[in-house]
Chains A and B, each alone.
Chain A
Amino acid sequence: MLWVECPNCGSRPFEEYRYGNVFPVTPDTITDADARNVDYAWMQDNIAGVTLERWFHESGCRRWFTAKRDTTSDEFLPLDD
């Protein structure tokens, strides 16, 4: 089972959470404002590796938080490393 560490409540099973997607990163090579908006909103990078993600602890404190996860191993990493 995937366990997610909530900064307020501690470690809980992932069923208690709502996944809020990764932080979108728009490449600097896209300079047109409209194109940047499209890339930000719609283009998913689907990174295999470490990503910054938003999670919502729906069954606990009901707060959003940011987590760093390795998508290849589902390991949650400390934010400050």
Chain B
Amino acid sequence: MPACEPPRFEGLVGWRIIADPSALDAAPWPAGSHVVRISPDDAFVIGAAEPGVPGDEHAIVTPELGFAGAAVSAEQVADIALHHIEWQMPTGPCVAQGQIAGVPSKLVLHADGSALLLVACAARHELEDRLG
């Protein structure tokens, strides 16, 4: 029996951007967008019109439909960290990446302890089953 409600995922529509790290640092993201920095040269931008990266003329910007996401409360994050994560969960606003319940996932942690849990669409049902 899970300690709290398991997350419910839905497919996300966004943009995947591969560009020079300094150009990504300085990019003016559209208002209302949510930027997940996967690595210094790789970003996933959710909820925006096609973003531009003025600092890198060779930036690759392409639609990204391969992630599913679920908003999880601080209580759910604590439950996931306690039961499904082997590594040390960072605190504060940041992106934590690694296996959750053995499935490659990303946790976009917010300041209030809540988070956006991201997983590849192909592994979405597997993660739902394991967290449920």
Please report B residues at the A interface, Cβ cutoff 8 Å.
38-40, 42, 86-88, 90, 96-99, 104
Contacts and interface: CB of A to CB of B under 8 A. Distances in A.
A44 interface: no
Contacts of A77: none
Interface string A27-63: 0000000000000000000000000000001111111
Nearest to B89: A10
Interface of A: 8-13, 15-16, 57-63
B99 A8 contact: no
Contacts, number: 38
A60 B120 CA distance: 11
Nearest to A8: B39
Given A16-B98, A16-B99, A61 B88 contact: no
A31 to B, nearest CB: 39
Contact of A61 (B38, B86, B87, B90): B38
* Residue with the highest number of chain B CB atoms closer than 10 Å, among A58, A60, A62: A60
Contact of A60 (B40, B88, B97): B97
